[in-house]
Amino acid sequence: MVLGRRRLLVLGGGVLCAEALGCGSGASDPVVLQPQIPAGSAAGIAAGTLRPIPGAAVAVGRDGGGIFALSLVCTHAGCDMSRNGSVSFGRIDCGCHGSIFDGQGNVLRGPANQPLPHLVVTVDASGALTIHGDQVTGPSTRLQA
C-alpha cells in the first residue's frame, strides 16, 4: 500500500494529537517518583486539604487522622495527574482518560481499577515534611504532626 503525502500527514497528525491528549502508550516517559520529596512544613497542611507538590507526581494532605501522602500517577495508564488532571481534598481527576479518585485515592470511576498508592511521609525536628516516593504504606497510615 502506498501512502500519499496527504494521507501520511493526516495519520501523523492524528498520532501527535493522540499523544498530546494522553492516548499514547507513555512508555517512553514513565513517571518515576523521587525517593525523597520535600513537602513543606507540617504546620502548613491544614485539616481537610490535599495539595499537589510542585514538580512531583505526589500530593500531601491532612484529614482527621493526620498527615498522609498519595501518588498522583494514575493507576490506569501512568498519567501524571499533577500535570494533567485536578486535585482537591474530595476528588482527584485524571485528564488523560477520565478516571476519578476520591481524596483518599480510591477509584470512583474507571478506567482505572486500582487505588492510588499511599506513600510514607516523615517529619524532621524543624517540622519539615518529606514524602518517600519509593515507600508505599497502607491507606490508613497517618503522621501525627
Alpha-helical segments (H) within 1-145: 5-20
Q: What is the pLDDT of residue 32?
A: 85
Q: Residue 83: which residues within 8 A CB-CB, separation 6 or more?
A: 57
Give 3-state DSSP helix, strand, coil % of the chain, rounded to 5.
Answer: 15, 35, 50
**Residues ≥6 apart with Cβ < 8 Å to 63:** 47, 48, 89, 103, 104, 142
Assess contact for 84 and 72: CB atoms under 8 A.
no
In this predicted structure, what is the pLDDT of residue 72? 97
pTM score, whole prediction: 0.79
Q: How would you write the pLDDT of the chain (145 residues) with one tens digit per residue?
A: 454 555 544 444 444 444 444 444 443 466 888 999 999 999 999 999 999 999 999 999 999 999 999 999 999 999 999 999 999 999 999 999 999 999 999 999 999 999 999 999 999 999 999 999 999 999 999 999 8
Residue listed under C-alpha cell 485536578 = 86
Please provide the distance, in angstroms rounded to a whole number, between the alpha carbons at the two ends of the chain: 66
Rounded to the nearest 10 degrees, how much is the dihedral formed by the CA atoms of 106, 109, 113, 116?
Answer: -30
| CA 52 to the chain's CA centroid | 8
Three-state DSSP class for residue 64: coil
